Amino acid sequence: MKDPGAASIEAFRSELVEWLRVSCPASLRPGAKPTEEDRAAWQQAFCARGFTTPTWPSEYGGGGLSKAEARVLAEEIPRVASWFPVASFFGTSMLGPVLLEFGNEEQKKEHLPKITRCEIQWCQGYSEPGAGSDLASLQTRAVRDGDHYLINGSKIWTTGANQADWIFCLTRTDPSAPKHDGISFILFDLHQPGVTISPIELISGASEFCQVFFEDVKAEARNLVGELNGGWTIAKRLLEHERAMLSGGTGRPSDSPRARKGPPPAPKSALAESARPHLGEAEGELADPVLRHRIAQWEMDALCFGLTLRRSGEQARAGQGPGPATSMFKLYASEMNKRRSELLMSVRGAAGLGWSGDDFEPLDLMETRGWLRSKGNSIEGGTSEVQLNVIAKRVLGLPD
């Protein structure tokens, strides 16, 4: 032990290992077959310690852990349990951090523990049919009516609305103000009359998105977060959290000292290995020199992007928000994923053209659907063009 910090981390680790030994039922151990009864008991014990949201304060149901302790938790759980509860990421990664920053005491006490305990699934009411990249022109109205607001309008591209219980929703509360200054951030229950939810089928055949219609839907006035007409600040903050999430985190180093033992394995490229049977090889090198170079370029970009995330994480001081640089991460991660899918299509040739049926390998069908789905990566969560605008304005300070 070099310092007291390390000592307290190891003390936490011992306490945690003992707790896991006692609390994780036998059927949830690796290799065993989980029973429903054990799963429910495990979920209850796990959530009671706030481990689904380990770094949230314990007064709001969270684990109350430091970042270092949360890393220990992430290392130790998979050693003991084959399954553990994961709370909805709309709650843990988007609404939760924003409520902690902008919510009042009552809102935090009311909503955060339900996220931690996996009781409420949240969805995000942002885009509208007439407000995509220009999000601030949204038109869904919220009009005060006694203790309530009455909500009318429609949201689109609402991921998982058909599975969700509540929505955090941007609404227009002052139509006469400039567009950024008349928006409020309101939470309400989706299980009520006047809410209609229709799934949207995508080009990939899947339908994870919905359009949601509101007709005189009620939202309690106490569930307006932050200032009335001050919702845009909260909306932007939440988008920073969303972009950090879409780009694969904020740069936690993946190789903790404990995990590193023995010589590292020879570097391999999953993309190149999946290309090998399709392209053939000559003396171990992929036989198509052009595709080989494109794959190498992709792998190098992925490596350097990972280092960029790591560097940014190391630079960020504890307690700071993700900041405008996350716009670069979202942009780069979506473009990388699109390029990877394009490469997988090129590599497989006609084997990648199957839509359904037994003539094609299930993996090929999945990758082709994945290629179609990847086209949305640079549209959802702020288009790549919007990300470039954000970088130009907020990072580079270029004039309007």
Partner 1 sequence: MSLVLTEEQELIQQAAAEFLKERAPIAHLRALRDEEDPTGFSRAIWKEMAELGWPGIPFAEDHGGAGLGMAELGVVLEECGRTLAPYPFLSTVVLAGGAVARGGSDAQKREILPGLCRGETLLALAFQETGRFDPWVIDSKAEKTGDGFCLSGRKTFVLEGHVADRLVVVARTSGASGEREGLTLFLVDPATDGCELTRSALIDSRYAARVSLSEVVVGRDAVLGEVDRGAEILDPVFDRATAALSAEMVGLASEAFERTIAYLKDREQFGVRIGSFQALKHRAAEMFCELQLAQAAVLDALRALDEDRPHAARIVSAAKARCSDAASLITCEGLQMHGGIGMTDEEDIGLFLKRAKAAELTLGDAAYHRDRFARLTGF
Task: Cite the active site residues.
Answer: 242
Give the whole-angstrom CA distance, residue 3 versus residue 158.
48
Q: In the bound complex, what is the minimum distance in angstroms from residue 217's beta carbon to partner 1?
A: 38
397 binds partner 1 (CB under 8 A): yes
Contact yes or no for 106/176 (Cβ under 8 A): no
- Taking each helix axis as running N to C, give the angle between helix 326-348 and helix 231-246, from 0 to 180 degrees, rounded to the nearest 10: 40
Give the whole-angstrom CA distance, residue 189 versus residue 214.
11
Q: Which of residues 320-349 bind partner 1 (CB under 8 A)?
A: 328, 331-332
Q: How far apart are the first and last CA of the chain?
A: 53
Contact yes or no for 190/166 (Cβ under 8 A): yes
Give the whole-angstrom CA distance, residue 64 versus residue 49.
9
Query: How far from 391 is each of 122, 235, 314, 321, 398, CA to CA, in Å?
Result: 29, 18, 20, 16, 9
Q: In the bound complex, what is the minimum distance in angstroms from residue 304's beta carbon to partner 1?
A: 4
Q: Which is nearer to partner 1, 118 or 302 (CB)?
A: 302
Residues in the chain: 400
Q: In the bound complex, what is the minimum distance in angstroms from residue 286's beta carbon to partner 1?
A: 5
395 binds partner 1 (CB under 8 A): yes
CB contact set of 78 (below 8 Å; sequence gap of 6+): none
Q: Which is nearer to partner 1, 224 or 344 (CB)?
A: 344
Q: Which is nearer to partner 1, 227 or 285 (CB)?
A: 285
Binding mask 277-316 for partner 1 (x = CB under 8 A): ----x--xxx-----xx-xxx-xxx-xxx-xx-xx--xx-
User: Of the listed pieces 123-131, 190-198, 204-212, 274-282, which binds partner 1 according to CB under 8 A?
Assistant: 274-282
Count of chain residues binding partner 1 (CB under 8 A): 47
Where is 166: in which H helix or E strand? Answer: strand 166-172
Q: In the bound complex, what is the minimum distance in angstroms from residue 262's beta carbon to partner 1?
A: 11
Q: Which is nearer to partner 1, 108 or 348 (CB)?
A: 348
User: Of the listed pieces 43-51, 117-125, 202-210, 275-283, which binds partner 1 according to CB under 8 A?
Assistant: 275-283
Residue type, 28: L
User: Of the listed pieces 198-206, 218-226, 270-278, 357-365, which binds partner 1 according to CB under 8 A?
Assistant: 270-278
272 binds partner 1 (CB under 8 A): yes
In 184-325, alpha helices (H): 231-246, 270-279, 289-315
Q: Which is nearer to partner 1, 44 or 297 (CB)?
A: 297
Q: Which of residues 238-267 bind partner 1 (CB under 8 A)?
A: 263-264, 266-267
Q: Which is nearer to partner 1, 280 or 349 (CB)?
A: 280
Query: How far from 81 is each of 16, 54, 119, 229, 371, CA to CA, in Å?
Result: 13, 17, 22, 46, 33
Q: In the bound complex, what is the minimum distance in angstroms from residue 323's beta carbon to partner 1?
A: 13
Q: In the bound complex, what is the minimum distance in angstroms from residue 6's beta carbon to partner 1?
A: 17
Which of 37, 59, 273, 359 contacts partner 1 by CB under 8 A? Answer: 273
Give the whole-angstrom CA distance, residue 159 versus residue 138.
18
Q: Which is nearer to partner 1, 57 or 306 (CB)?
A: 306
> What's phi and psi for 122, nearest 5 deg?
-105, 155
Q: In the bound complex, what is the minimum distance in angstroms from residue 370's beta carbon to partner 1?
A: 22
Q: Which is nearer to partner 1, 193 or 263 (CB)?
A: 263
- Token pair of 7, please? 């000592």
CB contact set of 57 (below 8 Å; sequence gap of 6+): 64, 100
269 binds partner 1 (CB under 8 A): yes
Give the whole-angstrom CA distance, residue 90 versus residue 111.
13
Q: Is the sign of the CA dihedral 127, 128, 132, 134 positive or negative?
A: negative
Q: Which of residues 365-394 bind partner 1 (CB under 8 A)?
A: 385, 387-389, 391-393
Q: In the bound complex, what is the minimum distance in angstroms from residue 298's beta carbon to partner 1?
A: 10
Residues that bind partner 1 in the complex, under the rule CB under 8 A: 263-264, 266-269, 272-273, 275-276, 281, 284-286, 292-293, 295-297, 299-301, 303-305, 307-308, 310-311, 314-315, 328, 331-332, 385, 387-389, 391-393, 395-400
